[in-house]
Amino acid sequence: MTTFNRSSTVKQYIAALILFIFTGFIEISAQQNTTSPIAIRVGLYPYTPFTEFDDQGNAQGMVSELISILNDTQTEFVFIPTPVSPKRRYEFYKMHQVDAFFYESLLWGWSDIDILSSIPYQQSGERYIALAQADRDQRFFNDLSQHHIVGVLGYHYGFAGFNSDEAFLRRNFQITLTWDESNMLELLEQENGDIAIINETHWVQLQKQQPKFTAKFLISDQYDQQYTQSILMRPSLMSQQQLDSLIKNVQAQPAYQQLQQRYGVSSDQ
């Protein structure tokens, strides 16, 4: 199994961590010493289009926009973006370095961890994708064991039983792990892999923004997984009722509805 290191992505992630060190702790400290809203650190890791980092380490995407909407529409809590890596997000949570994750699923390694899951607020899924070639059709995706798979480090995939352990993946699959989904497509385009897994929300965005690029690929009819996404929250910060009320309130906001429409995603209500 090869781990593909993309220097620009790593630099963006490091820059994001530095930004958090200089701003995040200061904000939290100030809030905890006053009667200000309860500070909740939201873990952000590269997961297009939910979270992406620019060259200065600034986060953008659906998670950042949802954080802004929540902060603008209620005063009991303040949500603070906090960069983490996909693989280490559980460790960060257990060490109390982050408190919550947005657009997350309990299926992704959280079932044995003490964390609240909100009512679901979005439906999504993952599909297989390959470089389009004259001799390829939907049958190309029938047997993954015959292909070199490209995935993202720390992600949970249905074909692997949601086991993200690198040693397990190495034993059971021919797989290359990279830093993000955009990099996966580059590897496929360069024929450094046969099949990758892409989330539908990302694919919809790519089709709108880069139709000529997406025309190079064959997307599967079958899913690797389908899921609903929720907010996962540290139980000591709010109750289940508070968490669900938070979601219901934000779903009624025009800004949230515009966010959903802009990204072409389906709400789960």
pLDDT tens-digit map of 200-227: 999 988 999 999 999 999 999 999 999 9
DSSP class per residue in 81-135: EEE--TTTHHHHHHTTS--EEEEE-TTTTTTTS--EEPPP-EEEEEEEEEE--TT
pLDDT for residue 34: 53
- Structural domains in the chain? 9-123+227-263 (3.40.190.10), 125-226 (3.40.190.10)
The H or E element containing residue 141 is: none
- Whole-angstrom distance, CA of residue 234 vs CA of residue 6: 32
Q: What is the pLDDT of residues 51-71, one digit of tens each?
A: 998 888 889 999 999 999 999
Residue type, 146: Q
Higher pLDDT, 122 or 27: 122
pLDDT band at 17 (very low <50, low <70, confident <90, very high): low
Q: What is the pLDDT of residues 126-148, one digit of tens each?
A: 999 999 999 999 999 999 999 99
pLDDT for residue 36: 86
The H or E element containing residue 163 is: none
Q: Is the pLDDT of residue 238 over 80?
A: yes
pLDDT for residue 265: 77
Q: Is the pLDDT of residue 103 over 60?
A: yes
Residue type, 124: S
Q: Whole-number mean pLDDT of the chain?
A: 88
Average pLDDT over residues 170-187: 91
Interior angle at CA 150, CA 149 and CA 154, nearest 5? 115
Q: How many CB atoms lie within 10 A of CB 20?
A: 22
The H or E element containing residue 244 is: helix 240-251
Average pLDDT over residues 9-31: 51
**77, 249 Cβ separation under 8 angstroms:** no
pLDDT band at 257 (very low <50, low <70, confident <90, very high): very high
Residue type, 264: G
Percentage, residues of the chain above pLDDT 90: 72
Answer whether 0.85 is exceeded by the pTM: no
Residues sharing a CB contact under 8 Å with residue 224, sequence separation 6 or more, in sequence order: 125, 126, 127, 128, 157, 158, 159, 197
Joined together, the tokens standing for residue 216 give 């190079």
Average pLDDT over residues 246-259: 95
Which of these, 202, 176, 174, 199, lies nearest to 187 by C-alpha position? 176
**Residue 49: cis peptide before it, omega within 30 degrees of 0:** yes
Q: How do strand 149-152 and strand 116-117 relate by DSSP bridges?
A: unpaired
pLDDT for residue 18: 52
